[in-house]
Amino acid sequence: MLKKCLRKTYLIELNTFQSQSTQDIIVSMKNTQSLKHKKFYIKTFGCQMNENESEQMAGILKSYGAHPCTKMEESHIIIINTCAVREKPVEKLFSLLGRIQKIKQKNHAVIGVAGCVGQLFKNEITQRNKAVDFVMGPDNLAKLPEIINMRLKTESSPIHTSRNREWREINQISRQNRISAYVTIMKGCDNFCTYCIVPFAKGREKYRPLKYIREEIKDLAEKGYKEIQLLGQNVNSYKDPDSGKNFSSLLKEVHKIHGIEWIRFITSHPKNFTPEIIRTMAQNDKICHQLHLPIQSGSDSILKSMGRDYTRKEYLEKIKLLKKLMPDISLSTDIIVGFPGETEKDFYDTIDVLERVGYTNIFSFRYSERPFTKASAFKDSVPFEIKKKRLIELQEIQKKIQLKFNKSLIGKKMKVLCMGRSQKNHHSYRGRNEAYQVVNFKSDPDCIGKFVTVEITDCGPYSLIGKI
Ligand code: SAM
Ligand code: SF4
């Protein structure tokens, strides 16, 4: 799925989506005046879904008159939105909370912890760190102004982790990007892969009604967005709660919206990824020929013990059909090395899949034991040093595959959506091609937000370099 856990400071741009729906966010309007003119800062550790949730929290706070601030030390409200999928971000949270405690002593800011970590480790967080005023689970975003207001009025109410069974629409959203937008279509997961904490953190699958998805994307198209990415833990199991329409039908509906030129989606689960979806991708030209399809392991016995519900052969058959119907398809995947019981042979079965498929990109992780999961009771038979060694070997092999593929693109011309100036070289621009590869190139400043044709002149394993 999801791209590597990344650290992101929330940079705000005013872009609030106002749906015409009558099911507005359920926030008590009383007593929220005290949020006016307060400065807030949101720190996100996690994937695109965490980023999108932070965008929603920022949208809600702004609609109550609060202002985003880029400096934590100057903010009245500090929220840390953290992913719990692997152990590292959780550790980062606790070290950041230590720093925040000092800031709080100076400016008396209200401190909140949101996201999966808030949901799962609420007691540990409030007990271990006295600076934290509240913790909030992913189903409680709409209550944010009320929670903060209660705290500002010194009414103590630290834990907000109730669950919703139904979809709850949040239509205030403050996006970081004006060119490409994340659009959540479902939340939660019913799969309970044995290593994964997500179903415990995010709860069961809930699908966003198609009418809200359509409204949001039409609004984005009117605002000039060129690309949308449909988000969910398992987008392929989408079912419109009103009509029962499936993910393929959703893709076709989105494809009809005028103005959006590139449609992507993440994350797909191989067991729910049907030939119907593959045909829909191949037949609708605005759906990018790019797919993230996490395999996790190339060994059938490991896949079985992970509870993934597909075999290596079934996965490779889907890849074969994808390549047949879309020869230019760009594929990426997630891999876990060192899962309990993984032998050398299992590991080399995974390497074999990398070589057969030829992924454009992979996200690879050392197995990390997570509380609540079934695998936490398995004997973790792979020593840390072996996990580390296997991860390095796998990443080295993939690096070579990527470099070889990227070199084959030198001299080719491709369509690139320009996202802004290059972070390293301010005289250059950066964008993404249809395959979702990073492309750096020289151009006039007015190319930001536009599609340009770039000729590839050079490359590294992780990005391409070109000229207009
Ligand atoms: N829904 C997606 C799927 O089915 O592939 C994945 C979502 S998960 C939040 C993102 C990625 O984190 C997974 O694909 C997996 O590779 C990795 N991951 C999840 N739990 C992990 C664990 N306990 N240890 C290491 N990596 C893990
Ligand atoms: Fe986690 Fe598996 Fe659900 Fe993906 S499908 S979120 S890996 S439980």
Residues 386/337, Cβ–Cβ less than 8 Å? no
CB-based burial label for 428 (10 Å; 0-12, 13-18, 19+): middle
First-last CA distance in the chain:
32
State in Å: Cα 183 to ligand 1 middle.
Answer: 21
Pocket test for ligand 1, best of 196, 204, 236, 306 (most atoms within 8 A of CB): 196
Q: Give the pLDDT of residue 8.
A: 38
pLDDT at position 22 is 30
> Looking at residue 437, what is its pLDDT?
97
Tell how far the Cα of 322 is from the centroid of ligand 1, in angstroms: 23
- Between the CA atoms of 209, 215, 217 and 221, what dihedral angle is there, to the nearest 10 degrees? 170
Q: Which atom of ligand 2 is nearest to the CA of 308?
A: 2
Contact predicate 39/74, CB 8 Å: yes
Give me the helix-helix angle, 275-283 and 312-325, nearest 10°. Answer: 20
Residues with CB under 6 A from ligand 1: 1-2, 85-86, 195-196, 198, 233-234, 267, 269, 294, 296, 334, 336, 365, 367-368, 370
Ligand 2 site, residue 372, Cβ cutoff 6 A: no
pLDDT at position 128, please? Answer: 79
Judge if the beta carbon of residue 198 lies within 6 A of ligand 2: yes
CB atoms within 10 A of CB 311: 14
The number of the ligand nearest the C-alpha atom of 235 reads 1
Residue-level pLDDT at 33: 59
Nearest CA to ligand 1 atom 12: 85
Structure pTM? Answer: 0.90
CA separation for the pair 437, 19 (Å, rounded): 32
CA 268 / ligand 1 centre spacing (Å): 12
Number of neighbouring beta carbons within 10 Å of residue 226: 20
- Which portions of the chain are predicted below pLDDT 50? 1-30
- CA-to-CA distance for 447 and 466, rounded, in angstroms? 14
Interval between CA 197 and ligand 1 midpoint (Å) = 9
Distance CA 76, CA 279 (A): 51
Strand pairing report for 361-366 and 330-337: parallel
Q: Rounded to the nearest whole angstrom, what is the distance from the C-alpha of residue 140 to the centroid of ligand 1?
A: 24
Q: Tell me, in angstroms, the distance from the centre of ligand 2 to residue 383's CA.
A: 24
C-beta of 189 in contact with ligand 2 (< 6 A): yes
Residues 6 or more apart in contact with residue 178 via CB below 8 angstroms: 13, 15, 223, 224, 225, 449
* Atom number in ligand 2 closest to CA 199: 8
The predicted pLDDT at position 2 comes to 36
In short, whether 193's Cβ falls inside 6 Å of ligand 2 is yes
Are the beta carbons of 370 and 87 closer than 8 angstroms? yes
